[in-house]
Amino acid sequence: MAMPAAEIEALIKAALPDAEVEIVSLVDDGDHYRAHVVSGAFAGKSRVQQHKLVYDALGGRMGGELHALQLTTALPN
């Protein structure tokens, strides 16, 4: 089952309200995306902890509705 990019963005923004989220489809199948997420919530956290915040926001959809997510995270400038 495919997951629309807008739904991914909404889930991330619900968990990280200040987030700037850019979602790009890697393959036209609704299962493979690249996401760049910028949030102040990442301050003081390792890259692994930042990614965990984003994956937690997706509520267990990784590996199910969402097959692959190439993720980068950053702090606001």
Query: In the chain, what are the domains?
Result: 5-74 (3.30.300.90)
Q: Which long-range CB contacts under 8 A does 44-50 form with residues at least 24 apart? A: 47/73
Inform me whether the pLDDT recorded for 51 exceeds 80: yes
pLDDT band, residue 62 (cuts 50/70/90): confident
pLDDT in tens, 24-48: 999 888 788 999 999 999 999 999 9
Distance between CA atoms of residues 41 and 20, nearest Å:
11
The label of the residue with tokens 């692994």 reads 48
